[in-house]
């Protein structure tokens, strides 16, 4: 597809894309501090907090990317009855993300709190419970997804961060329900138990993640990535794979085609959240009827924008359009 057609799609059609993100919802907190002395109480630095920030993380960051791209976005997952949940809800409402699918439990809302001294991360505190979600809570979660499918979806993303939502039972129930409604499923995987994603249309591992499920890890080379992707597709019964490859860009491997797309990043400051951006933009393309190769091209372009920012960042529709204009001018 030509650059102008992709530009017009991003400019005019993203608002029609109905996408649900199901998975591990998180809050990312940052305390930015100045360190000038050591504590007299113990041999540790004293961090004088100058500012703080809270952002959407995990599956919530995927939803944030979709919302900033202008998509009709909803999210399903689990939260606690605590301050961190209130902060998440405020952010979802502010960004126009439908969050009726968040199930309140007696677990804490998954939160990662980072203490930054100068430009260095000094400490991370994790508030979480990662036991598998089962029973009544899982049933309510799956009921909401079924309801959204009946209302109408163009794509569903499973965002797995290993915090208990994406069990084999839950993933297989979601994939089966989506197949019954002819809705494509795109998975951001975690761990090595990829059989739980069997039947998914697309999966988006990075090179480290795909190496974790291979008997013999591979180098970051086109031919090796294609060979590994095809082996993984066969082993775990997956439709297609998008492998994000850092400085080598990304590769889309389907049964009938292979596309190696070089990186568009000019400068790399921070890769955190880049995977969330890739899956969000790719899902937007698929939901809007773009060909997989065009969706992958847009996702790669968006990743180039995100890695040039510090911290977890969600790309906007305007930034993606600007990047497309820049590419068209080359």
Give the containing element (helix H, strand E) for 250.
strand 250-253
SS3 for 169? helix
Of 24, 201, 276, 294, the active-site residue reads 276
276 classed as catalytic: yes
Closest by CA to 151, choosing from 74, 48, 46, 60, is 74
The candidate with the shortest Cα–Cα distance to 302, out of 242, 223, 239, is 242
Q: How many whole angstroms separate alpha carbon 241 and alpha carbon 202?
A: 5
Which residue matches tokens 């505190």? 125
Q: Which residues face 158 on adjacent strands?
A: 22, 187
Burial bucket for residue 118 (CB in 10 Å: 0-12, 13-18, 19+): exposed
Output the DSSP codes for 112-151: EEEEEETTEEEEEEEE---SPP-HHHHHHHHHHHHHHHHH
Active site residues: 276
């Amino acid at each position: 597809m030509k650059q102008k057609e992709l530009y017009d799609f991003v400019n005019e059609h993203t608002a029609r894309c109905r996408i649900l993100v199901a998975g591990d919802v998180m809050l990312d907190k940052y305390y930015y501090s100045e360190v000038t002395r050591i504590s007299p109480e113990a041999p540790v630095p004293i961090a004088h907090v100058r500012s703080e920030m809270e952002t959407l993380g995990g599956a919530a960051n995927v939803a944030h990317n979709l919302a900033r791209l202008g998509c009709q976005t909803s999210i399903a997952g689990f939260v606690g009855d605590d301050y961190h949940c209130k902060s998440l809800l405020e952010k979802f409402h502010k960004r126009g993300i439908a969050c009726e699918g968040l199930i309140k439990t007696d677990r804490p809302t998954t939160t990662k709190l980072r203490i930054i001294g100068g430009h260095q991360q000094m400490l991370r505190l994790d508030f979480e419970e990662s036991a598998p979600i089962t029973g009544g809570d899982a049933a309510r979660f799956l009921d909401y997804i079924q309801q959204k499918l009946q209302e109408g979806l163009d794509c569903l993303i499973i965002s797995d961060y290993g915090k208990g939502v994406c069990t084999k039972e839950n993933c297989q129930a979601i994939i089966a329900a989506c197949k019954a409604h002819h809705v494509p499923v795109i998975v951001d995987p975690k761990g090595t138990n990829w059989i739980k994603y069997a039947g998914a249309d697309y999966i988006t591992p990075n090179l480290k993640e795909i190496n974790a499920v291979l008997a013999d890890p591979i180098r970051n080379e086109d031919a090796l990535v294609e060979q590994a992707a095809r082996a993984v597709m066969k082993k775990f019964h997956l439709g297609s794979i998008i492998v994000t490859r850092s400085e080598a860009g990304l590769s889309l491997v389907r049964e009938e085609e292979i596309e190696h797309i070089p990186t568009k990043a000019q400068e790399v400051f921070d890769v955190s959240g880049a995977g969330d951006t890739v899956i969000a933009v790719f899902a937007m393309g698929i939901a809007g009827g773009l060909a997989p190769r065009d969706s992958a091209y847009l996702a790669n372009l968006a990743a180039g924008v995100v890695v040039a920012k510090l911290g977890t960042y969600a790309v906007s529709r305007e930034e993606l359009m600007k990047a497309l204009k820049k590419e068209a001018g080359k």
